[in-house]
Amino acid sequence: MSKQFDVLINKGWCKGCGLCIAVCPKNVLELDDRVKCEPVRMDDCIGCRQCENICPDLAITVKEREQDA
């Protein structure tokens, strides 16, 4: 099975600038009704960490999901 990733958003720090949404190659992220980033298609994430690196608010963490043995 291919690797799965968790995209964790610290919504207290996110300011909804949309840079992560612009760089994501898999269109994983969207803005929610509070104009904060939300990983709506998390299963599509390929773990490239472009959103984590571009986030000016340091609000995104991409973690590899631990697989059940």
Measured in degrees and rounded to the nearest 5, phi and psi for residue 7 equal -105, 110
- Show the binding pattern over residues 19-48: x = contacts other proteins (CB under 8 A), - = does not: x--xx-------------------------
**Residue range at the interface with other proteins (CB under 8 A); choices 9-17, 24-32, 39-47:** 9-17
Bridge partners of 30, per DSSP, are: 38
Q: Residue 21 Cβ, how far from other proteins at the closest point, in Å?
A: 8
Q: Residue 68 Cβ, how far from other proteins at the closest point, in Å?
A: 22
